[in-house]
Structure 1
């Protein structure tokens, strides 16, 4: 028969064993489990003004991606510096946690060759996914005197530097494309930079410039307010079979301008994969697809790795074009 002392000792041992089991089942102090991503709204920076084609497309994409992620994706417009101000600000200030992303275009790789910038396109971004590409072209007002590209070039030869054109920022794809055409034809034009497509379209329709070399003319062409003289695409657009390409008119110029989504450098691989998959799914959204088709764009999907590799290859290529053209920021 146990003595009271023996019973008390047994109870203490049993209590200690139960406490040990309980503590083992609890997480260690200071090692709280990370919250599932995402657990709050995300921000998507669109580096062009509100109201333009890219803005409309990316708002549709953000809405679709938000449904996949289970959190809203808020679009913030940060136009300026040829579409690089937004991603540059993000790279400099945003945490690499996946909650702040930006749209990026080819000017991101070109601008560092023209001026000092606050970012390194090869090191300061996490490339998540490429979405589509701008379909570049040369568009004039519907009442312009030039019916063909040859008409425009012939007039420019008689009035060098007197015909004004616009695009989105010095060093933008539309600017470089037109300067390459001018060099190939022995002509010169007066370039006027704008912050975004909506602004330059307004300037063209208002008679402040003579033509645009850019994307985003689709709706105005369809409405009969602009005439498309030529595209920089590799083949005629299926939506516009009557519009010739520059290449078929004897100018060896095929210009592509991909746009995708980037984040700050150092993002966790799991977050990159989750965002890539959500955006890939959002690309199938009917509203988004309708809006890119409206501006004669197609899907130009690149995975995170393929988009990263593409970005690494662009600066050497862009340097060749800039050196040939002698373009400098004014």
Structure 2
């Protein structure tokens, strides 16, 4: 298994380590639910260095990214970022990504760990036909640390990253901190105030330990993938391999807002345009259980009438610790996708009533 530059810190903290997409990663430290509540009330420190980090630079970079992604890259101002997707020619999702416009003609693209090699290969193939653009896989050179939670801004300021004080949602900035040049962005996967740090791999351990030292008295704790998954599900954020894949399109996934069919030609555009014209057979929806139970990935979704016919399946599901109810995402036949529709989830042979809702499930005033 591959290891991040923080593996020694995880072991020293007593983390339970698991194989995640070929990486030895912490699933939990003090406990999944404890870490979840810590992020919701104080702040959690996540190692997300297993993610892929690709730089795209040069005067042809905007045109290249316009062609290989679904969103409108021209709308990302310098020092800002954008959520987007990379599709195959059939409109299937190769990956969901974040694009940071770090400086003029320089972008940083964050991709999922399981898709890193696939996306690097895809970008290299496509960029070979583009002038004035260079693609570079910097995943091993850079580490990635996320600080997420209500006190995250104050913690980073105390740790010497004063520039986060006026950073707005999805903005990013190159700063000097932890002994070197890093990129800090106000992004994350939790729904809380939070930041992600992209920094040279050799500075990761120093930054991690310094953040813990500054934040422990305020309640900061390291958090693992288990808490991260619960936190993202509260928000209805998509998980590649569960909710989306190359067999689903952004339209199937209810992510029309990351597809700009008017921006010009891009990979998958013709297929997505045809889907929009013809209508969708299935849709990804959010749902809440109306009885106390726990929905899980792969559980059948049923109609609420007496026939109880199969209408789809759960793609992500769990019991939300803060809402104390079963929530999830599911791929269902389109006619059952309207919010307010009554449906059922087959949980180990019992049909549990549920209702279709529009995520996020957890709503909090933004700081």
Q: Same fold (TM over 0.5)?
A: no
Q: Which has the higher contact order (CA 8 A, sep 6+)?
A: 1
Q: Point out the structure with the larger strand share.
A: 2
TM-score, normalization: structure 2?
0.27
Q: Point out the structure with the larger helix share.
A: 1
TM-score, normalization: structure 1?
0.29
